[in-house]
Amino acid sequence: MTDETLAERARDGDRRALARLLTEVENRTAAGEAALKTLYPLAGRAHLVGVTGAPGSGKSTMVAALTGEARKQGRPVAVIAIDPSSPITGGAILGDRIRMQIHATDDDVFIRSMASRGHSGGLAASTVAAAAVMDASGFGLIFIETVGTGQSEVEVAAIADTTVVVQSPEMGDEVQAIKAGLLEVADIVVVNKADRPGADRAAAQLRAMLTVGASADRAAVAAGRPRPKRPEVMLSSALTGKGVPELLAALDRRAPSPGSRLADDASLKRAEAQISGILAQRINARLHDPARAAARAETLKAVAAHEIDPFTAADRLLALLGNDSAG
């Protein structure tokens, strides 16, 4: 089958074609690139919601609950669930789907697991491309789950239109969140597992902490420094469903309106993340072109032997790349 028909079939609701296409996009094949040319102009309508937080805080269960709520309103929902790849073997266990299997046979819920595959910066580009394919295939609400440890994972959640940080009420979770910089990227912080003791207190503490920051914000703005986001704090239980409709409503209030894409910050950031990810990939592909193997090996050796410094080496290789279409 041709790539054009794969893209067309995905757009027209063929889930098998959509799944195939996502593989092409994830593997960054020429077929995937070609399909994006058709589909990208159709995308840009969906609300991309990043969901991140400490391991086990309930992200997947929450995504499943929000999905259930949106399905009550008849809205199709797609999910991209990202788990880390082992840096040693390249393997991964993608386990988020376990919590979402209640939606497995609903044709209007499409769940896709992705391994992070350790490509720095490239993860954001691949994820956004996958979301664009889902968007063009008619999914208006797309959740992107990543674990809130690790720079590139947090980055992925942060480039969504709206970023939700899920916390459990257990002590220490907020410390982890602060360390990982999660509170800085959050539009909404959800204290999940509100069916357990301590949730109200955790939410109150978070709110207090975030208001203390408010005066510092004014000082920052006055001094012309960037101001961190001040997220809304909500309480919910993904298990009992308490607070879930309210959370979905809060998300919907933040959905980008048609036309707002031109100016809004999230869309521009996403465009930049995609392009720089692709640029890095293109440069690498050219660098590894067999035609340049000798020059590359020689330069690496020179740096290893401390004959030239790595900056000079990089400049030399960049100059060598030229403007051809190799790779």
Partner 1 sequence: MTDASARPIKVLIAKPGLDGHDRGAKVLARGLRDEGFEVIYTGLRQTPEMVVSAALQEDVDVVGLSILSGAHMTLLPKITAGLHERGMDDVLVTAGGIIPDDDIPQLEQAGVARVFGPGTTIREVAEYIRANVKSRGA
Ligand X SMILES: Nc1nc2c(ncn2[C@@H]2O[C@H](COP(=O)(O)OP(=O)(O)OP(=O)(O)O)[C@@H](O)[C@H]2O)c(=O)[nH]1
Residue ranges in contact with ligand X by CB under 6 A:
53, 55-61, 96, 99, 147, 192-193, 195-196, 237-239
147 contacts which partner out of partner 1, Mg ion, ligand X, none, CB within 5 to 8 A by kind? ligand X
Tell the smallest beta-carbon distance from residue 239 to ligand X (Å): 4
| Residue 155 touching Mg ion (CB under 5 A) | no
Element (H, E) at 303: helix 293-304
At 192, the amino acid letter reads N
What is d(CA 222, CA 233) in angstroms, rounded to the nearest whole number?
Answer: 26
DSSP character string of 213-225? HHHHHHHHHHTT-
- Interaction of residue 60 with Mg ion, rule CB under 5 A: yes
Residue 134 or 147 with smaller CB distance to Mg ion: 147
∠ CA 196-199-203, rounded to 5°: 165
For Mg ion, the closer CB: 83 or 155 = 83
The entry of ligand X, Mg ion, partner 1, none that residue 273 binds, CB within 5 to 8 Å by partner kind: none
> Per CB under 5 A, which region of 36-44, 91-99, 188-196, 313-321 contacts Mg ion?
91-99
Our CB check for ligand X shows the closer of 56 and 310 to be 56
- CB-wise, 60 or 137, nearer to Mg ion? 60
Instruction: Please classify residue 125 by burial: count the beta carbons closer than 10 Å to its beta carbon, then call 0-12 exposed, 13-18 middle and 19+ buried.
Output: buried
Residues that bind partner 1 (CB under 8 A): 3, 15-16, 19-20, 22-24, 27-31, 85-86, 89-95, 97-98, 101, 104-105, 110-113, 115, 117, 285, 327
Residue 78's DSSP bridge partners are 110, 142
Of these, 24, 96, 155, 187, which contacts Mg ion (CB under 5 A)?
Answer: 96
Q: Which helix (H) or strand (E) holds 144?
A: strand 141-145
- Please state, in angstroms and as integers, the Cα–Cα distance from residue 201 to each residue in 52, 109, 204, 253, 284, following that order: 21, 35, 5, 26, 50
Residues in contact with Mg ion by CB under 5 A are 59-60, 96
